[in-house]
Amino acid sequence: MDDQGLKETIINFEDLMREVEMLFGQLNDTGYLPPDFEEKMRAVEEEQDRILRQLLPVFEARYPRLIKGLWEVDQEIRGFEDYIRDLLLLPTGQVLLAGSEAGVKILLPPSVDKPQWRVQQTITGFDNYVHAALLVPGGDVVVGGVAGELKVLGPDPQQQGRWVIKQNISGIDHYVENLLLLPNGDVLVGGIRGQVEIIRYEASSNEWRIQQTLELVAKVSLLLPEGKIFLAGYKGEIKILTHHPDLNDQWQVQETISGKIGDITAALLLPEGQVLLGGSSGTIIILGRKTGASYEILQEITGFDRYISRFLLLSHDEVLIGGSAGAIQILSRRDDEENTWKLGQKIRGFHQYVSARLLLTKREILLGGNKGELKTITLKDVTLDQLKEKIPEIMKS
């Protein structure tokens, strides 16, 4: 539809809206419904729907931030009782589930002949529960948990679709909070007990070994666009690390930032390179460098009011926030202010602490939580009623 056709279609829709007002005006003036009221109203509504169906694809393309469907809890996946801590999509299309059970589970997503999620395998051999999982180059998975337990999983060479423990990585004695893949293929092992390790795969021995240990705290870890590491933890202290290949291939603290936020419990790198941070009190801030100097607060967002446990980048314009007591909300870009964000839709139907999230497709998310709660959330199509509510906003733009 070209601009002229769009203009004429909107004018026709506005005429129909005025006709509806006139019909209801007759009711207000006379106090009763004229005999042909229902027939006229039905004809007007049918014509409105016909026009809205024409306008929907046009407006979805022109106003993608404004015209969008709603996220809804779709499917509950039963059979889990314990804390679900991480979800990882494997190269095989399977999903690895890590939690407080003594091992990890490999899930099979629904298929045409089997429409339900299924547990394909439970990998045992863990002394404590697994907290984090990371896919590394070559297709193996590093998993870490309580008491420094760190293992490497790989495809079973004897049986397709199954996974086995390939290596126990020794030398780490702290709770593994997070895992971060670095540009050279090394992995950062983050923890909250004052130690962070860099581990490296050695082809000669076919094993992973500790390359470096740093006395730092890492509740969250990110890789910045310039190749630096962003670490943050309790009491809001942030460390920026840089790599020095010429100094024994070590990482060193380049910058310390404090006083921006209280306890930092979640972090996400936004598309422009800014850092989204969430705290235990529900505070959300966006950090960035305006002039190339130290990080400063670009925006503070209030209103979530729950412990923030997870962020998930859904698209260039949307982030999912997960928190305590099943709190889930969409953070989206504002149309009226460049590079600013606002809280949007609250998603109902999840009840426990949101501790694991995985974007399956652009329209489907898998969420895990406390007490084994595991559900999919899907993005529904825009309805004609939702579009009708947005028409006045579109006409003002």
Please tell me what DSSP assigns to residue 161. T
| Mean pLDDT taken over the chain | 89
Helices 3-30 & 384-396 angle (0-180, nearest 10): 110
Query: Are 177 and 138 spatial neighbours (Cβ–Cβ below 8 Å)?
Result: no
Amino acid residing at 52: L
Using CA atoms, how far apart are residues 334 and 151, in angstroms rounded to an integer?
Answer: 43
Give residue 98's pLDDT. 93
Query: Are 321 and 307 spatial neighbours (Cβ–Cβ below 8 Å)?
Result: no
Both tokens assigned to 20: 């509806």
Question: What average pLDDT does range 219-229 have in this prediction?
Answer: 95
Helix residue spans in 31-152 (DSSP H): 37-62
- Structure confidence by residue, pLDDT tens digits, 42-100: 888 888 888 888 888 888 888 887 888 899 999 999 888 888 999 999 999 999 999 87
Residues in the chain: 397
Using CA atoms, how far apart are residues 332 and 305, in angstroms rounded to an integer?
Answer: 17
Query: Are 257 and 264 spatial neighbours (Cβ–Cβ below 8 Å)?
Result: no
Give residue 102's pLDDT. 62
Give residue 62's pLDDT. 81
Q: Which residues pair with 73 in a beta bridge?
A: 377
Is the pLDDT at 197 greater than 90? The verdict is yes
Is the pLDDT at 40 greater than 90? The verdict is no
What values do phi and psi take at 367, rounded to 5?
-120, 135
Helix residue spans in the chain (DSSP H): 3-30, 37-62, 384-396
- In which order are the strands placed within the sheet that holds 238-244? 220-223, 229-232, 238-244, 250-257
- Structure confidence by residue, pLDDT tens digits, 333-357: 987 777 899 999 999 999 999 999 9
Is the pLDDT at 395 greater than 90? The verdict is no
Q: Which residues pair with 256 in a beta bridge?
A: 239
Using CA atoms, how far apart are residues 10 and 52, in angstroms rounded to an integer?
Answer: 9
Give residue 31's pLDDT. 65
Confidence of residue 321 (pLDDT cuts 50, 70, 90): very high
Query: Are 274 and 284 spatial neighbours (Cβ–Cβ below 8 Å)?
Result: no
Is the pLDDT at 30 greater than 70? The verdict is no
Using CA atoms, how far apart are residues 194 and 215, in angstroms rounded to an integer?
Answer: 5
Q: What's the alpha-carbon Rg for the chain, to the nearest Å?
A: 26
Of 25-39, 226-240, 287-301, 363-377, highest mean pLDDT? 363-377
* pTM strictly above 0.85: yes
Higher local confidence (pLDDT), 29 or 100: 100
The share of the chain scoring above pLDDT 90, in percent, equals 60
Confidence of residue 12 (pLDDT cuts 50, 70, 90): confident
